[in-house]
A and B are shown apart, each in its own frame.
Chain A
Amino acid sequence: MIRLGNVSRHFRRGPDVVKALDRVTLTIADGRFVALMGPSGSGKSTLLNLLSGIDRADEGDVEVAGQRLNGLSEDELAAWRSHHVGLIFQFYNLLPVLTALENVELPLLLAELTADERRRRARTALDVVGLMHERFAQLPGTLSGGEQQRVAIARAIVTDPDLIVADEPTGDLDAKSADAVLALLSELNREFHKAIVLVTHDPRALRWVDEVHHLDKGCLLEGDEAVRATESLEQALGTARVGR
C-alpha cells in the first residue's frame, strides 16, 4: 500500500519558490498498475521520486509498504530503496562498462548473497523479461533500445521489490518496442503482483494500467477534471490507432 497524505514539495529557483507538488493526497493499493500522467512540469516525476524514496517531502506524509519515509535519513532511505523499490528510467541508464547480466547483478551487490546466487538471480530476471541468452554477455551499447529497456526492467525486478517505479519507460522507444515494454510491465504486475507506478506521456499506457492519476501544476486532478483528462487521452489513443 502506498499512502501520500497532504504531500508538498517546493523548490527554490533563484528568488522564486516553485511548488512542484502542492498538498497531494493519494492511495495506491498493493499490486496495482498505476499511471501518473500530466503535462511537463506538472509534478509527475517529483511525485515518483517521493514515493520511491529518492526525494523527501517538505510537508505531509509518505508511507510505502508499511514504512513511513519522512523521518528516514539519506542512508536509511538508500538502504530501504535497495530492498523495496525497483527503478526504471527513460534512457535505461545502464552502466556502459558492464554487460547486460552484470548490470542486472549490480543492485544485488547490496544484498547479502553469494556471487553464484547473484548470477543465478540475474539470469532468472533476464529470462523473465525475455532477453535472448546470447545478449547476456553483451555491453549495453551493442543492444537495441528495446533490449536495453528489458535489461533495465530486469535490474528493477531482480531484488524482488514491493514497488516498481518507471519514469517515462517508453519515452525513448519506437511504437513497437514501447508496446512490448508496456506489455511486459503489465505481465510483471499480473504474474508477480508487484505495484507499478508509471510516469508517462504515452496514451498507449491507458490500455495496460489499472488506474490513471492526472497531475497539473503540482496538484492531483479529481472529479470531472480527472475524467475529462482521461477522455482526452482516450481520444488521442483512438486517433493514434486510426493513424496506424
Chain B
Amino acid sequence: MTMLFRLCMIGLHAASWMVCEEDRYEWLREWASELWHIHAAVKNAPLREQMEMLRFARGAFSDAFWLAVHNRRLRGWKLPVFHSPLQCLIALFVLALAATGLALIHPEIRNAVLPPSTYEEARSLVLIARDGYTQTEKPSVRLDEFRNWTRNTQHLYSELAFYQMLERRVHIGHGSEATLSIARSSNNLFHVIDSPSLSGNNVSLIKDKPQALLSEAAWRTLFHRDRHIIGHTLLIAGEKAIIIGVAARDSWQLPGKADVWLLETDARMNELPMGAMGFVVARLQTSLLNQGAGDSLHMLVPNGDGDYSGFTCTVLIKRLREPLYLFAFTAMLALLALPATTSLPLGDYPLHPGRQSWSIRIRRWVFLAAKLLLLVPILCFGPIAITHWAASLQATTVASIQGCITFATTLFALRWMLRDQRRRCPVCLQLLRNPVRVGQPSRNFLAWNGTELICVGGHGFLHVPELPTSWCSTQRWLYLDPSWRTLFRPPVPISF
C-alpha cells in the first residue's frame, strides 16, 4: 500500500464521521473498495497519475456532507450522542479548543485572560468613577471635580488625566468630512497611561497646540494607510489639531471607543464648562501601592453643600479581568442551583472484586474529572466570546448577557456531566442503551418500578427507580456474570 493510499484512507475515515452511525459502515466500505481498485490500477504509475486517488477521495467529503444533510432532513436535527468515552472527550476537547481560540482572537477577552502588556505599571493605573458608575461606560466625573483633585490629592495620585467621548464632524482633507468618535482629553493622558503603543512620535514636543492621535482603524479606512500623515492638520469642529501618530490596534483599554484622541492644551481645557462630564484616569502614589492598597479604593469628596460624594478607584487590571470574576461568580451560583435540577449522587455501585479493580474505579473518576476540566474553558470563554463579539453594546448589557449565558450554560453543562456519568457503564464507560420500563407503579411497595438500561458490552444492568424508596433510593448497578458475555457484541472500537 502506498503512502498516498493510506493518506486517502485516513481522509475517508475522517469524512465518514459526517455520515450517521447506521450508514457509516456501508458508506465507508463502498468508498474504500473503489479507492482500493483505483490504487490497484495506478500504484505502479507515475505520481501524477497516482494523484487520481487523492482527487477521488476528496469527493468523499461532498458525498458524506450530502448524506449528513439529507439524513438530518429526514430524521430531524438531533444532538449527537457520544457513546464512547473517548468520543465524548474528543468532542469536549474540540469545543474547548474552539472556545479558547475565539476568546484569544478577541482583544478584550485576551486582555482579561492574559495580563495587559500595553500599559506600563498597570498595577498603579486606576480609573476613578462616581459610585454606581464603575461597571458602566458612562462618564461620571465633572471637570471641576477633576480640577479639584489635581490640586488636592497629590498624596493619593501622582498624576491625573481627564477625557470625554464626543461625536464630531471632522474635516479629513480633500474636502471630505466624516463623523468620528473623539476622545477629548487633557494633554497628559498618554503620559498617565504610559503606553508605548499609544504615544505619538512627537507627543512630548508640541504642548501649545492641540494634538490628535489616530486609531489604527481610522488611519486605515479614512486616511488609506498614509505613511506621511504625521504632521498633517485635522479640522475637528473648527479646531485645528496636529496629527502626532497612529495608535496600535487594541492598545486602548479604557472606557469608550475612539477614532481620534484629541489632546487639548491647558488653555483649551480651561475653556471647557465646569460641569463637562468625563472619565478620569490616575496613577496611584507608590507609597499607597507599598501599603497594599488592593484592587480598589473608595474616596469621599466633600461637595459644596456640605455633603459628600463617593468615588471608586478601580485598578485597571481588575477592570479588565471582570469577565473572569463574573464567570467565577455565576458558575458558583450555577453550582449552588445544581441540586435543584438533578440529584448529585452518582448511584449505587456494589463492590465486585472480580469486575471492579482499582484501575477501573479510578478511570471512572478520571473520566468525570476530565469532563469537568474540559468544560471549564468552554463555559468560561464561550459566553465571554459570544457577548464580547457584540462590541456595540454597553458594558453593563454585555455583563448582564454574559452572566445569564454563563449561568444557564454552566447549570446545563454540570447537569449533563452528572447525568452522562450516571448513564455510563462503570467498567467500559460506554453509554448504556436500550432503556426499558420495568415494573408497575402500583407494585412499588412490593418491588420496584423504573427504567432498566443495559451495557452493550455485557458488563451489567442499571436500574433507575421511578420513585426513590428507602430500599431503592438511587440508581443501582447490577453486574452480569462473564458467562453472559457471549450474548453481547464487543463495544465498537474507535479506529481509523
Real binding pair: no
